[in-house]
Amino acid sequence: NNTWSSKMANLEAILNNLLVPDNAVIQQATQELKAIYKNPGVVPPLCQCLVTSASPQVRQYAAILLRRRLIKLWKTLNDVEKESIKEHVLTALDREMEKPVKRSVAHLVSVIASQELPAGKWNKLYQYIEQNCLNPDPNKREVAMLLLCSLLESNPEPFQPQFKNLMIIFNNTLQDQSCKEVPFLTIKCMTAIVEYVDSDTTKPFQALIPVCLQVVRLLVQQDEDQATEALELFDELCESEVAILAPHLTTLLMFLFEVGINTDLGDSLRVKALSLVTNIVQLRKKVISKPDMLQKVLQAIFTIMVSEGDGEDNEDDILESSSSPYDTAAKILDTLALHLSPQVIYPAAILIIGTWFESGNVKQRKAAILSVAVLCEGCADFIKEKGLLKSLLEYAFIGIKDQESVIRNASLFAIGQFAEHLQPDVSDYAADLIPVLLEQISMTITKVPHDKPSRSLVKAFYALDTYCENLGSKVVPYLKQVIDTSIEVFKIAQGLSVKEHVVSTFGALANAAEEAFLPYFSDVVIIIKECLALGSEAGDAGLLHGQAIDTLGVLARNVGRIQFMPLAADCLQLGKNAMQSPDPDIRGTAYGMLASLSYVLKEDMKEELDEIVVKLLETLQSDEGIQVHYDEPGNGLFNFNDFEGEEKKDDDDDDEDDLDDIAAIKGVTVENSYLEEKEDACNALAEIATNTGSAYLEHFDDTYREMAQLIDHTSVNIRKAVTTSLARVVIAWSSLWDQLKQEDKAELSLLFNTSLETLMASARTDSEKTGALASLEALDDLLRALKGKLEIQPKCCKSVLEGIQEFLTKQSVCQCNEEESEVDEDEAELDRMLVEAGGALMPPFVKLVGSDRLMAEVEAFVENLLKSLKQSSPASERVYIVGTAAEMMFALDGNALKFSSKIDIFLKCLQDKDADVRSNAAFGIGVLAANAVSVLAVHYSTILQRLFVAIGSEKNGRCIDNIVAAVSRMIMAKSDVVPLDEVVPVILQKLPLREDEEELITLYKCLLFLLQNGNQIVIQSLKHVLKVFAHDISKLDNETQLVLKQILQLLSNQYSEELRAAFTHLTAEEIQNLSDL
pLDDT in tens, 508-517: 999 999 989 9
Residue 2 has pLDDT above 60, yes or no: no
Rounded to an integer, the average pLDDT of 1019-1034 is 94
- The reported pLDDT for the residue numbered 681 is 97
Query: Which CA distances in Å does 141 have to 63, 91, 138, 507, 795?
Result: 21, 15, 5, 64, 56
Cβ-contact 399, 365 below 8 angstroms? yes
Cβ-contact 259, 276 below 8 angstroms? no
CB proximity list for 427: less than 8 A, separation 6 or greater: 470, 471, 472, 474
Arithmetic mean of pLDDT over the chain:
88
Residue 945 has pLDDT above 90, yes or no: yes
Residue 490 has pLDDT above 60, yes or no: yes
**Burial tier of 977 (Cβ tally within 10 Å: 0-12, 13-18, 19+):** middle
Rounded to an integer, the average pLDDT of 823-832 is 68
341-345, 927-931, 1018-1022: least confident range: 341-345
Cβ-contact 330, 318 below 8 angstroms? yes
Kindly report the length of the chain: 1077
Residue 655 has pLDDT above 60, yes or no: no
Cβ-contact 773, 723 below 8 angstroms? no
Cβ-contact 114, 659 below 8 angstroms? yes
Cβ-contact 194, 158 below 8 angstroms? no
- The reported pLDDT for the residue numbered 4 is 46
Rounded to an integer, the average pLDDT of 79-105 is 89
d(CA 462, CA 465): 5
* 844 alpha carbon, distance to own chain's centre: 24
282: confidence class by pLDDT, cuts 50, 70, 90: confident
d(CA 539, CA 534): 12
pTM of the predicted model as reported, rounded to 2 decimal places: 0.79
Cβ-contact 884, 843 below 8 angstroms? yes
Query: Which CA distances in Å does 596 have to 109, 605, 677, 689, 845?
Result: 56, 11, 16, 12, 32
Give the helix ranges, DSSP H, for 711-824. 716-734, 742-765, 769-785, 794-808
Query: Which CA distances in Å does 921 have to 507, 885, 925?
Result: 38, 9, 6
Please report, as a single letter, which amino acid is at residue 116: E
Q: Which residues pair with 669 in a beta bridge?
A: 627
- The reported pLDDT for the residue numbered 9 is 63
- Tell me which residue of 134, 143, 136, 124 sits closest to 166, measured CA to CA: 134
660: confidence class by pLDDT, cuts 50, 70, 90: very low
Rounded to an integer, the average pLDDT of 56-80 is 89
Cβ–Cβ contacts within 10 Å for residue 1068, how many?
7
533-547, 723-737, 771-785: least confident range: 533-547
- The reported pLDDT for the residue numbered 434 is 94
- The reported pLDDT for the residue numbered 448 is 58
Residue with the larger pLDDT of the pair 599 and 640 = 599
Helix/strand/coil for 990: coil
Query: Which CA distances in Å does 24 have to 28, 30, 31?
Result: 6, 10, 11
Torsion of CA 197, 200, 201, 207, to 10 degrees: 140
Cβ-contact 207, 215 below 8 angstroms? no
- The reported pLDDT for the residue numbered 662 is 46
d(CA 498, CA 201): 59
Give the helix ranges, DSSP H, for 75-180. 79-95, 99-116, 123-133, 138-154, 163-173
Torsion of CA 131, 134, 139, 144, to 10 degrees: 50
Side-chain-side CA neighbours of residue 652 (13 Å): 1
Rounded to an integer, the average pLDDT of 756-770 is 94
Q: Which residues pair with 665 in a beta bridge?
A: 630
Rounded to an integer, the average pLDDT of 916-938 is 96
- The reported pLDDT for the residue numbered 315 is 59
- The reported pLDDT for the residue numbered 645 is 41
d(CA 586, CA 553): 13
d(CA 407, CA 418): 16
Residue 669 has pLDDT above 50, yes or no: yes
- Tell me which residue of 763, 760, 837, 766 sits closest to 792, measured CA to CA: 760
d(CA 920, CA 926): 10
117: confidence class by pLDDT, cuts 50, 70, 90: confident
Cβ-contact 858, 804 below 8 angstroms? no
Residue 107 has pLDDT above 60, yes or no: yes
309-323, 540-554, 718-732 — which one is most confidently predicted on average? Answer: 718-732
d(CA 64, CA 349): 55
Residue with the larger pLDDT of the pair 448 and 1010 = 1010
Question: H/E element holding 665?
Answer: strand 665-670
Rounded to an integer, the average pLDDT of 340-353 is 92
The 8-class DSSP code of residue 219 comes to: H
Cβ-contact 915, 882 below 8 angstroms? no
- The reported pLDDT for the residue numbered 564 is 93
- The reported pLDDT for the residue numbered 659 is 43
192: confidence class by pLDDT, cuts 50, 70, 90: very high
649: confidence class by pLDDT, cuts 50, 70, 90: very low
89-98, 227-236, 549-558: least confident range: 89-98
The 8-class DSSP code of residue 912 comes to: -
Rounded to an integer, the average pLDDT of 667-687 is 87
- The reported pLDDT for the residue numbered 23 is 86
- The reported pLDDT for the residue numbered 646 is 43
Please report, as a single letter, which amino acid is at residue 640: F
Please report, as a single letter, which amino acid is at residue 224: E
Residue with the larger pLDDT of the pair 753 and 39 = 753
- The reported pLDDT for the residue numbered 309 is 53
Q: What percent of the chain has pLDDT over 90?
A: 63
- The reported pLDDT for the residue numbered 643 is 47
236-245, 668-677, 876-885 — which one is most confidently predicted on average? Answer: 876-885
Residue 304 has pLDDT above 50, yes or no: yes
71-85, 951-965, 968-982: least confident range: 71-85
Residue 629 has pLDDT above 80, yes or no: no
The 8-class DSSP code of residue 991 comes to: P
d(CA 493, CA 451): 7
End-to-end alpha carbon distance in the chain? 93
Q: Which residues pair with 627 in a beta bridge?
A: 669
d(CA 96, CA 182): 16
- The reported pLDDT for the residue numbered 684 is 97
224: confidence class by pLDDT, cuts 50, 70, 90: very high
18-27, 633-642, 680-689, 928-937: least confident range: 633-642
Residue 905 has pLDDT above 60, yes or no: yes
Query: Which CA distances in Å does 773 have to 342, 767, 938, 960?
Result: 19, 11, 43, 31
- The reported pLDDT for the residue numbered 647 is 45
Residue 34 has pLDDT above 90, yes or no: no
Torsion of CA 357, 361, 362, 363, to 10 degrees: -90
Residue with the larger pLDDT of the pair 1076 and 882 = 882
- Tell me which residue of 513, 437, 435, 511 sits closest to 474, measured CA to CA: 513
Helix/strand/coil for 630: strand
d(CA 559, CA 514): 6
* pLDDT per position as a tens digit, 835-877: 999 999 999 999 999 999 999 999 999 999 999 999 888 888 9
Q: What percent of the chain has pLDDT over 70?
A: 91
d(CA 611, CA 1075): 41
Q: Which residues pair with 668 in a beta bridge?
A: 628
- The reported pLDDT for the residue numbered 432 is 93
Residue 904 has pLDDT above 60, yes or no: yes
d(CA 702, CA 299): 52
Cβ–Cβ contacts within 10 Å for residue 898, how many?
16
Rounded to an integer, the average pLDDT of 986-999 is 95
221: confidence class by pLDDT, cuts 50, 70, 90: very high
11: confidence class by pLDDT, cuts 50, 70, 90: confident
Angle formed by the axes of helices 742-765 and 716-734, nearest 10°: 160
- The reported pLDDT for the residue numbered 320 is 58
